[in-house]
Amino acid sequence: MKQERYSHDTPRSALVKVAEIAARYKSRPDKLMDVILAVQKIVPSMSESVAAVIAREMNLRQNEVYGFITFYERLSVKERGKYVIRMCSSAPCHVRGARGVMDAILDQLGIGIGETTDDGRFTVELSPCMGVCDMSPAIMINNKVYGNLTSESAKALIKRYIREDVEDSD
């Protein structure tokens, strides 16, 4: 697995909030996922400084926190866009036209898989099965799933996100 560098800056104000969240679970390593999920809502990515604060406040080693973060695909040490678009890469989605849907999205945004638009609004990633095979091909934008997509319906959906004509899906 390729390790991503995670040394970008996190604002001090965000680190204070991270410390407040993590401090509630001092000496509770079993709550690390809860802490990281809460922290992920206030920081653009899990930077080295974020991992250090979590480790300090929870009495963990920083490499334990980093290992945890890099193990789970939905967590990231890279900054992501406001909208993270995940395309299901499972066989049912593939067979039902996922490639065409993904190509339409990538073409519309002008980026590749794993990239973020220059304006920082969109990141596109592949994801393992999302468990919605009955409505494949499917994508997830932040936490909202959209299924039974075609190239045309995917483009229309992305246009809505570009116009911010959607409910916040976090």
At residue 106, the pLDDT reads 95
How far is residue 83's CA from residue 73's CA, in Å, rounded to a whole number? 16
- Statement to judge: residues 147 and 88 lie in one domain: yes
167 is a domain residue: no
- pLDDT class of 40 with cuts at 50, 70, 90: confident
Q: Provide the domain count of the chain.
A: 2
**Residue-averaged pLDDT of the chain:** 85
The alpha helices in 110-163, defined as continuous H runs, are 151-162
d(CA 21, CA 26): 10
Query: In terms of domains, do 27 and 53 share one?
Result: yes
Tell me the pTM: 0.69
- Residues 122 and 97 occupy one common structural domain: yes
pLDDT given at position 168: 61
At 12, the pLDDT band (50, 70, 90 cuts) reads confident
Q: Which of 39, 45, 90 is nearest to 70 (CA)?
A: 45
**Same structural domain for residues 91 and 157?**
yes
Strand, coil or helix: 96: coil
Asked if residue 88 and residue 41 are part of one domain, the reply reads no
What average pLDDT does range 25-41 have in this prediction?
90
Domain hosting residue 54, numbered range: 12-71
